[in-house]
Structure 1
Amino acid sequence: MDYVDSKRKSNICGKILFAAGITTLCIIFLKQSPDFSTPSQFSRQQAGVTHVLVTGGAGYIGSHAALRLLKDSYRVTIVDNLSRGNLGAVKVLQELFPEPGRLQFIHADLGDAKAVNKIFAENAFDAVMHFAAVAYVGESTLDPLRYYHNITSNTLVVIKAMASHGVKTLIYSSTCATYGEPEKMPITEGTPQAPINPYGKAKKMSEDIILDFSKTSEMAVMILRYFNVIGSDPEGRLGEAPRPELREQGRISGACFDAALGVIPGLKIRGTDYNTADGTCVRDYIDVTDLVDAHVKALAHAKPSKVGIYNVGTGKGRSVKEFVEACKKATGVEIKVEYLSRRPGDYAEVYSDPSKIKLELNWTARYTDIQESLQIAWRWQKSHRNGYGSP
């Protein structure tokens, strides 16, 4: 009996030692893993490093902003649900900036308050650039609830998370659509806001939420109202790649390129009876490189308890017909043009007075030749016929 008991005890001890050995090996292996134990550089403040959360950073404008921030040595976290953004754009940024602590991507939906709160709890953000939004005027008239949820409700979630976790700088991506169709041109920041489509209304509601909250907090706020964005990264690393099903809702530049590539048979111009010189809509086209430069300057000038509101445009309006002619020259393709009735929610003439942003932030649009901007974007489109190749 003593021999049997001794053997049993020996077996038990052996199993314990074996289990302990396996456990030790697992711990050693996990500690060597980059995802284990040591606090992430993104989770702590670092002297001399500004950590910016870029919502919608997989999208057209957001990815270009992330690129500029990374080039300027900011630490960047991109949050995107990829409903409109492209994982391919994130991969390009990751390949350009592979160093630890430079860039991280988090797949999450800003409508999920629990997930957003977790992201803020686990990361030490210094500022937020809030780009994430659905952004097509025509689509907003067809599906208004989607726009109020995605833009207004989600912005409220972000602001609440910022308040809860002490993040006190916000650069907000707004739009000239909040002005509607003003009686006088050019549009200044003091022009009354009277949006005429759900996209503009949802953005204005978001602005109102931000402004009301800023009165009761020390938040530094910069609201940038964009005009019509064109162009792409001059070095050809990033471009615009909307979902195929959204091509008809997208920017005129994308439609021009699709027509030039033969993706669509021609270009459809909606509205030729507006009260403008040639009957087509007049818009202020701002190059995306200039636009992200305005964001970086806004971030540098943001001050606690202060609100800055700025138009970001060139100050010059061009008609749709002028734009199409510039696109034909940029692509070298004689694009077929079909003229149709007006698109719901559009307005005749919109261009900015950018004097305030020049005076206060020392920002001026530099890429004002629309044909040149289109040529740069066209080079990317020709070499990326399938966009980034994956959603």
Structure 2
Amino acid sequence: MLNSSRGRSQTRPTRSAPFAVMEPDHKKKSNIVGKILMVVGLTALCIIMLNKSPSLSTPTHFSRHEEGVTHVLVTGGAGYIGSHAALRLLKENYRVTIVDNLSRGNMAAVNILQKLHPQPGRLQFIYADLGDAKAVDKIFSENAFDAVMHFAAVAYVGESTMDPLRYYHNITSNTLTVLKSMAAHRVPTLIYSSTCATYGEPEKMPITEGTPQASCKHFPINPYGKAKKMAEDMILDFSKNSNMAIMILRYFNVIGSDLEGRLGEAPRPELRDQGRISGACFDAARGIVPGIKLRGTDYKTQDGTCIRDYIDVTDLVDAHVKALQHAKARNVGIYNVGTGKGRSVKEFVEACKKATGVNIKVEYLPRRPGDYAEVFSDPSKIRRELNWTARYTDLEESLEIAWRWQKVHRDGYNSP
């Protein structure tokens, strides 16, 4: 377009004109050059702004490796066990990144950890789903991890029998996603949270790390155990041609709470029927439910109820830290994490009655699909190789510590 009114009157076509008079070539070229210069200028401005963006160019504590600092990714770190592990790691001066989609975890637990360790470079939380491969790869590309503690998983035996596909996706498939990103970004160490459910129901007790997992007779009888075993098999196959240091911890029934009362177990209300027996006992003791339902009283055990090995969460996370400290490149360590002592469900309920001071009402029901009659560990290998042994083995004492948190947090982390 020309700038002067005189120019415009000279070039404006009449109604009868079959075409418009064109601009002079030198002015057209001038406009094109101006537009090019404008695009170049805007592009340069965008580049400058992007370079100044701290999220894209400025290194953070979490995006770079630092000598003497171990940066651990804790998947599922907003959950019961994961949050306790993150607390212990922070106490030991590890750098921690928590990744959780909060489907089972509690953001309030993360907030507590952040208040306890507010210093820059100590703890960060990333909301993400491990089923989203692109999101997971982005997390690994933007952070310099030295190790991964992979806790994130749905973990209820009863629920797994009703919704098995969810368990295979959430446990097996998501573990594959994490493992692929670790390999792609050369993260050297994996501590994998597994379970005694991978053993099925062996004929001999206690369970050792050499107890067969794969025989038809003993194979895990619930999708939770099967999904965990598939994840283990995948990790072991990968390890054959990898330099990664891998530790697989197969632990038993987790109970207890942070000794100082900062964290506890707070399952979602809709999952209470699927949760751990300790949660059911506490709900009954608080009057949230009328009593506890014991499923299965006809097992071939001393009192007819299932026998389990109850491991305190404080001992469990201690085992994870020791596993991290002893992990070696091109090596796989597999360990049972338990007390080595089996206690029946009836014994557990009696201990809970004493710990809470409440005469909990008990209702006896038929067996729950997927449950084993008797499962307890032989922890001698982890004691011998990692110098770990369970310290909090008094069942009533562990329940008393957990009960103190439960009384204060009647509505879980939503309590005032």
TM-score (norm 2): 0.86
Q: In the aligned structure 2, how far is the partner of 1:34 from the partner of 1:219?
A: 31
98-107 vs 35-44, which moves further: 35-44
Task: Pick the aligned partner of 1:369 from 382, 394, 408.
Answer: 394
- Alignment of 1:164 with 2:164, yes or no, is no
Task: Pick the aligned partner of 1:273 from 288, 298, 304.
Answer: 298
Deviations 1:176-214 (Å, cap 9, x if unpaired)? 000111000000000011211000000000000000000
For 1:86-101, list aligned pairs within 5 A. Answer: 86-101=106-121
Which structure is higher in RCO with an 8 Å CA cutoff and minimum separation 6? 1
Task: Pick the aligned partner of 2:206 from 186, 190, 205.
Answer: 186
- Alignment of 1:79 with 2:99, yes or no, is yes
3-state SS, counterpart of residue 124 of structure 1: coil
2:171 corresponds in structure 1 to 151
3-state SS, counterpart of residue 358 of structure 1: helix
Q: In the aligned structure 1, how far is the partner of 2:285 from the partner of 2:223?
A: 31
Task: Pick the aligned partner of 2:336 from 275, 291, 311.
Answer: 311
1:35 Cα offset (Å): 5.8
Partner amino acid, structure 1, of 2:262 = R
1:309 Cα offset (Å): 0.2
- Alignment of 1:138 with 2:158, yes or no, is yes
Task: Pick the aligned partner of 1:39 from 41, 59, 63.
Answer: 59
Task: Pick the aligned partner of 1:231 from 229, 240, 256.
Answer: 256
Partner amino acid, structure 2, of 1:49 = V
Q: In the aligned structure 1, how far is the partner of 2:351 from the partner of 2:101?
A: 34
For 1:247-262, list aligned pairs within 5 A. Answer: 247-262=272-287
2:29 corresponds in structure 1 to none
Q: Which structure has the larger Rg over C-alpha atoms?
A: 2
Partner amino acid, structure 2, of 1:127 = A
3-state SS, counterpart of residue 261 of structure 2: coil
3-state SS, counterpart of residue 249 of structure 2: strand
1:168 Cα offset (Å): 1.5
3-state SS, counterpart of residue 320 of structure 2: helix
1:40 Cα offset (Å): 1.2
1:38 Cα offset (Å): 2.5
1:81 Cα offset (Å): 0.4
For 1:292-311, list aligned pairs within 5 A. Answer: 292-311=317-336
Q: In the aligned structure 2, how far is the partner of 1:241 from the partner of 1:67?
A: 16
Q: In the aligned structure 2, how far is the partner of 1:113 from the partner of 1:38?
A: 25
Task: Pick the aligned partner of 1:128 from 148, 152, 168.
Answer: 148
Q: In the aligned structure 2, how far is the partner of 1:113 from the partner of 1:221?
A: 22
Q: In the aligned structure 2, how far is the partner of 1:35 from the partner of 1:223?
A: 34
3-state SS, counterpart of residue 388 of structure 1: helix
3-state SS, counterpart of residue 333 of structure 2: strand
Where do 5+ consecutive residues of structure 2 fail to align?
A: 1-37, 214-218
1:37 Cα offset (Å): 5.1
1:34 Cα offset (Å): 7.4
User: Where does structure 1 differ by over 6 angstroms across 4 or more consecutive aligned residues?
Assistant: none
1:36 Cα offset (Å): 7.6
Task: Report the CA distance shift for 1:36/1:308 in structure 2 as closer, same or farther (over 3 A).
Answer: closer
1:10 corresponds in structure 2 to none
Sequence identity of aligned pairs in percent? 83
